Amino acid sequence: MNAAAKKILIADDDSSIRLVLSQAFTRLGYQVRATGNATTLLKWVSDGEGDLVVTDVLMPDENVFNVLPRIRKQRPRLPVIVMSAQNSLVTAVNAAEVGAFEYVPKPFDLDDMTSAAHRALAKPAEAEAARSQARAVRDDRLPLIGRSAPMQDVYRTIARLVGADLTVLILGESGAGKELVARALHDMGRRRDGRFVVINLAAVPRERVEAELFGKDDSGYGKLAEADGGTLFLDEIGDMPLDAQTRLLRVIDGSEVALNPRTGRRPNVRIIAATNRDLRALIQQGLFREDLYFRLNVAPIRLPPLRDRTDDIPDLARAFLLRANREGLPVKTLDAGAMDRLKAHNWPGNVRELENLIRRICALYAEDLITARIVERELADQQPLAEPGQGPATLAQLVERHLSSYFADQPDGLPPPGLYDRVLEEMERPLIQLTLGATRGNQVRAAEILGLNRNTLRKKIQDLGVEMARSRR
């Protein structure tokens, strides 16, 4: 079937767009029929006309997202390209959800549009391959990737929150994409022209957290002032020391006035917090302020782990392959067996683990086609240290597993400087706190058990910000 025999149906209430597209497709040898409403488009489709539909979303008589399911039901093989001036995450996801072949944001490049039409009208096998590639390109441009039911819930929540200025608490496992959700809320919200400032509280030494947030010596040049007019993202809020929690609460409720030295006014900041820890459990342990929790948990978003949305793995993997190639790594393709093996994995490191695996495969393997054998080999190197039936893991194994996950969770695989001291501090604090709990706060007895001088223990309690355990009967 040649181009001259194929007909493209165009639907857009803007007559200038109908004219431009009609002329472009006609010059390429296609037959064209154009309308300004959804009712006429649906009638043409019902009559069996057209080999491709190019349509705007918002039509005078109906939203095309309500029309597309009827088109898919009547003619499931008819490809549809959706275009819209509402260039948002929600529009792109809705287009994919109703089965659009491609989503093209307005204003569009005419070459991009005609290229999408050419792919849509290709032979079935070529069209499916082109569709997967086009989807990968589109997904790579989105802040979040995935069309699974759990992710649809996340998108709907984001859509409700972007127009508000509420404080948001994002809950999810390490590597699930919590910062991406925070960036989407910022980039699509009313503060998009302001700064998006991030502080990872797990990576900042505890004694420096307040200075990082509020500035040194009350100078006000901390992250809070940096984010004035924009968004402050408090990553791993569960690791914030109690003193800093208290001060943050006072700043949020207005009992402490924090000024931006550049403006002389209080910073106007939207706060988004995230954690992979159970804050309610930390509250029970006396490690997190309940009143701060309720201040932060105004609008919660629960981000599902990758194992609960395995249907998204093919789209994620293709987007990561494309991203790796754009960054200079060789072009690779995953075969069906490799994709099945990826979907069968448990993904304890979530999306970050998948992206790191794809990058590693692109860098280390010469094969253009990645098979299940290659994926299996790489996943085998990441298996847990203690297998079922072999008894509990040793402390060293647990530490190694935790550190491996921590390294994998870094954007480039390299943690910020000062790792050695942070790791020792992480080990020392719970060790001292648990020992004090066992001795009901008796520092003399705790020092004996730990093998420390009492003065040394007292100094560590002060330096590490260890909370004195309350006696429990």
Q: What percent of the chain lies above the pLDDT cut of 70? A: 84
Give the torsion sign (CA, 377, 382, 388, 390). Answer: positive
pLDDT value of position 355: 92
The half-sphere exposure of 270 on its side-chain side, counting CA atoms within 13 A, is 28
CA-based max dimension of the chain = 91
Written as one letter, the residue type at 232 is: L
- Is the whole model's pTM more than 0.95, yes or no? no
pLDDT value of position 388: 45
The answer to whether 223 touches 212, Cβ cutoff 8 Å, is: yes
Closest C-alpha among 365, 389, 392, 395 to residue 377: 365
For residue 330, the 8-state DSSP code is P
Who's near 214: CB < 8 A, 6+ residues apart?
Answer: 220, 222, 224, 247, 251, 258
Tokens of 107: 């204003």
When pLDDT is averaged across residues 74-82 and rounded to a whole number, the result is 89
Which of the two residues, 297 and 108, has the higher pLDDT score? 297
Integer CA distances (angstroms), 34 to 11, 102, 108, 112, 244, in order: 6, 19, 18, 19, 62
When pLDDT is averaged across residues 388-402 and rounded to a whole number, the result is 61
Phi, psi of 301 (to 5 degrees): -125, 120
The answer to whether 95 touches 82, Cβ cutoff 8 Å, is: yes
H helices present in 215-260, as ranges: 223-226, 242-253
pLDDT value of position 412: 59
Domains of the chain and CATH, by start: 3-141 (3.40.50.2300), 154-302 (3.40.50.300), 306-380 (1.10.8.60), 419-464 (1.10.10.60)
H helices present in 215-335, as ranges: 223-226, 242-253, 279-284, 290-296, 313-326
Tokens of 195: 């700064």
pLDDT value of position 394: 65
Kind of pairing between the strands at 369-370 and 80-84: unpaired
Mean pLDDT, the chain, rounded, equals 83
Question: How is the beta sheet containing 102-105 ordered, strand by strand?
Answer: 31-35, 7-11, 52-56, 80-84, 102-105
385 — pLDDT class (breaks 50, 70, 90): very low
What are the pLDDT digits (tens) for 114-136?
988 988 887 555 555 555 555 54
Rounded distance between C-alpha atoms, residue 41 and residue 50, angstroms:
10
For residue 413, the 8-state DSSP code is S
Give the torsion sign (CA, 387, 393, 397, 403). Answer: positive
